[in-house]
Amino acid sequence: MGMGIWAMHFIAMLAFHLSIPVSYNKALVITSIIPAIISSGIAFFIISRPTMMGKIQVILGAFFMATGIVSMHYTGMDAMEMGAMIEYNPLLWVLSAVIAFVASLVALNLLFFISQNHNTPRMWWRKAGSSLIMGIAISGMHYTGMAAATFKAHPHGNTSVSLFDSSILAYCIGIGMLVIFGLVFISIFVDKKFESQSIKFESKFRSVIESATDAIILADRKGSMISWNKGAESMFGYKDKEVIGKNLEMIIPERYREAHQSGMKRYLSTQEPQVVGHTVELEGLKKGGHIFPIELSLATWKEGENIYFSSIIRDITERKRSEKKINQMVYRDSLTGLPNRRLLHDRLNQALDQAQENKQTLGVMFLDLDRFKYINDTLGHAAGDLLLIEVAKRIQACVAKSDTVCRQGGDEFIVLIPHSNADKLTKIAQQIVDVFNNSIVLNEHEVFVTPSIGISLYPSDGRDAETLIKNADTAMYRVKEQGRNSFEFYTPEMNEAISKKMKLEIGLRKALDQNELKLVYQPQMDVKTGRLCGIEALIRWHHPEWGMISPADFIPLAEETGLILPIGEWVLYQACVQNKTWQNEGYPDLRMAVNISSRQFQQTNFAETVKKILKESGLDPAHLELELTESIIQDSAHAISTMHILKEMGIHLSIDDFGTGYSSLSYLKTFPIDTLKIDQSFTRNIFINQKDASLVSTIINMAHNLDLKVIAEGVETMEQLHFLQQEKCNEAQGYFFSRPIPAEEMNTILQQQLVTKEL
């Protein structure tokens, strides 16, 4: 534009002929180009700004345009070198400037109108009119300015002739400008082509954006939204006219806004992406205030110095709902809703990492319900499920929200307590024990259940999840052994005991097959005559590596593991066979006493098993005595039935360790019992504790009054035997007569009894 104005002016100047020679100052000619270019640039810059200035823009642009034209013209006039002086008519000079301003104002106004309505059909004539008026402005100003000039000859003026042909120069300038304009028009044409393609591409891009179900939102560096598609409208509930130009924070929940602002500032200042270029899960804010989960993909691009943000947002409400269902199935216990074993291990491993990093401690509680099986068996599994739900609630009420209560399985629960110490764990464990002092009502049945709790601490009791849980479980079993309904912290000694117990169990399972179990026999003597009247069979275990193992160590383990059933049956069979063997060898007929465990006796086929063994061994039932413990006969309904069957078979029945249990004495008149066995703890203390002596006397008198025989165990001295003789006890056994001995040694005692009888 600037070059066009200057070319018109210079060619018109060359077309002006004076009667004197004229040349031009090249520096001033070139200088005259500058205001034309600068003023055109300023004018077009002003009217092209994307603001709402309107008419003020046009007037300001016209002012700069007119200033440039006038400056260019009179600078060019001053470049003339000739033998004359130029004087200007002030009126015409001002008129030329006014013509330049008015014409520029009209032309720019038309250009401004065109720029605002470029998509209106048939705008070409307005463009042509704008060009024509601009041409009139330049030429009108030029010739008015020329008319304002008066040339007066200078007496000492330069009379030299111009060195170049003005017509040729004018043609050269004109042709050069036409070439420049041609190139400009070609570039405009190419630009229009690219713009057309860009518009088509943008249209296609816009159609893709509008058809997307995801929200696609564009925003500038200030967070002001500049694009809002149909997906965003459907997702957030706002029309585009409600959000365009407004800040993104209107769709961001309040608790995230501060983080959003700081994130924007950080990115704009450092250009280091943290969320940009990644997909993150956040929350969005709908119109009306509803908050919902979203998935956000954020990208940026630059246009010049400006940074823009594009957000692709997806509503993941359904996905979150599905994930929650899957999470419930995979990580939650279906009955109580508590975390299951898998989720516990995840949380425990995270807590261990944090504890290791921060050098903290944490606690693990292993909780098992006492007598849960009894409640489950008596009230049914449905009631048992209700009980577990209530137990879960009570445990959760005793811990903080940051702690984890997990159902390990069955009636076992694990509690993870981060940032804890022994004192804190003690308080929580005691609180759990105390809360179960209150009864639980299940389907109108009031029940009581107590917990046994084992506790392990990180890092002293283990540095990984498996070890901590195992050690807490070990401590819990120690609580079970010591009476239940309490809690205990893990100690290394417990692990040694468990390890020993495990090895003992493995060895006991092999003992029967490897013939490591043997029977020994202890004589039972008639207190009055001193003769042998019976034999008690006792089991012994000789391990090839550990040597002799006490029955006190392996019998309770056999009871717990169920191994007592095959072991008890083997003992009964071997004792019956041995007694029959002695009878076949000609020794006197004696009763063989065999201890029966409560687990054996509770078997529904116990009587049939005894009958089968007697038949296989050939032993007469009258020569068999079964020693029952008080715990056996506490289940009176089953006990009476089984005892009567055994009694009808002719088997002798006795109560072992009488006086050490808690059963009612009423069973002495109810059950078909033949003998009471006084526990050795009473017999040994006859001369140490007067109360024990009184108890022994009372038991003997009571038994005789009920027509029962009495046998005292643990007789070790002559004084004890004399006391029993004075109290008229029937039978006695103990180290005073003989220790438990193998069958081979028992043959000697039997032989002596046989010789004595013959004499």
DSSP letter string over 715-733?
Answer: --SHHHHHHHHHTT--EE-
| Residue linked to tokens 């159609």 | 207
* Phi, psi of 679, deg, nearest 5: -65, 145
Strands 450-458 and 362-370 turn out to be: antiparallel
Task: Please indicate whether residue 364 or residue 187 has the higher confidence score (pLDDT).
Answer: 364
State how far the Cα of 652 lies from the Cα of 674, in Å rounded to an integer: 6
- pLDDT, mean of residues 263-274: 80
Secondary structure element (H or E) that encloses residue 579, with its range: helix 564-584
Within 293-448, where are the H helices? Answer: 317-331, 341-358, 372-379, 381-397, 422-435
Band of pLDDT at residue 44, cut at 50, 70 and 90 = confident
- pLDDT, mean of residues 287-311: 86
Q: Which residues contact 197 (CB under 8 A, 6 or more apart)?
A: none
**pLDDT per position as a tens digit, 82-101:** 777 888 888 888 888 888 88
Q: Which pairs with CB-CB distance under 8 Å and at least 24 residues apart come from 372-379? A: 372/410, 372/411, 372/449, 375/442, 375/447, 375/449, 379/442, 379/443, 379/445, 379/447
- Has residue 630 got a pLDDT over 80? no
pLDDT of the residue at 161: 42
For residue 422, the tally of other CB atoms under 10 A from its CB is: 13
State how far the Cα of 601 lies from the Cα of 646, in Å rounded to an integer: 11
Structure tokens, 699: 């038991």
* Phi, psi of 458, deg, nearest 5: -95, 135
pLDDT of the residue at 162: 46
Most confident of the ranges 303-312, 501-510, 553-562, 697-706: 697-706
Secondary structure element (H or E) that encloses residue 236, with its range: helix 230-236
pLDDT of the residue at 664: 58
Band of pLDDT at residue 159, cut at 50, 70 and 90 = very low
Residue ranges and CATH numbers for the domains of the chain are 1-164 (no CATH), 212-320 (3.30.450.20), 332-490 (3.30.70.270), 522-756 (3.20.20.450)
Task: Please tell me what DSSP assigns to residue 224.
Answer: B
Structure tokens, 301: 């691009």
* Phi, psi of 374, deg, nearest 5: -65, -45
- pLDDT, mean of residues 527-539: 93
pLDDT of the residue at 136: 77
> Are the beta carbons of 78 and 22 closer than 8 angstroms?
no
List the beta strands (DSSP E) in 40-159.
Answer: 80-82, 84-88, 149-153
* Phi, psi of 284, deg, nearest 5: -115, 165
* Weakest mean pLDDT among 61-70, 177-186, 427-436: 177-186
Most confident of the ranges 180-194, 329-343, 591-605: 591-605
pLDDT of the residue at 135: 77
> Are the beta carbons of 554 and 612 closer than 8 angstroms?
no
- Cα dihedral sign for 387, 388, 391, 393? negative
State how far the Cα of 29 lies from the Cα of 73, in Å rounded to an integer: 10
Most confident of the ranges 105-119, 174-188, 348-362: 348-362
State how far the Cα of 245 lies from the Cα of 247, in Å rounded to an integer: 7
State how far the Cα of 407 lies from the Cα of 279, in Å rounded to an integer: 35
Q: Which residues contact 216 (CB under 8 A, 6 or more apart)?
A: 209, 227, 229, 231, 232, 310, 311, 312, 313
Most confident of the ranges 162-166, 257-261, 483-487: 483-487
- Has residue 270 got a pLDDT over 90? no
Band of pLDDT at residue 433, cut at 50, 70 and 90 = very high
| Residue linked to tokens 């020679």 | 21
CB burial of 373-406 (b: ≥16 within 10 Å; e: otherwise) equals: eebbeebeeebbebbbebbbebbbebbeeebbbb
Structure tokens, 180: 């420049």
Structure tokens, 590: 């004696």
State how far the Cα of 44 lies from the Cα of 128, in Å rounded to an integer: 17
State how far the Cα of 655 lies from the Cα of 634, in Å rounded to an integer: 12
**For the chain, what's the residue count?**
759
**pLDDT per position as a tens digit, 104-122:** 787 777 776 766 666 666 6
Secondary structure element (H or E) that encloses residue 198, with its range: helix 166-211
| Residue linked to tokens 């003998």 | 675
Of 94, 95, 93, 97, which is closest to residue 65 (Cα–Cα)?
97
**pLDDT per position as a tens digit, 188-236:** 777 777 777 776 776 776 777 777 788 888 888 888 898 888 888 889 9
Structure tokens, 446: 């009031």
State how far the Cα of 299 lies from the Cα of 308, in Å rounded to an integer: 9
Alpha carbon of residue 137 to chain centroid: 78
pLDDT of the residue at 38: 86
- 3-class secondary structure per residue, 642-705: HHHHHHHCCCEEEEEEECCCCCCCCHHHHCCCCEEEECHHHHHCCCCCHHHHHHHHHHHHHHHH
Three-class DSSP category at 486? strand
Angle (CA) 346 333 398, round 5°: 80
Diameter of the chain measured on Cα atoms: 190
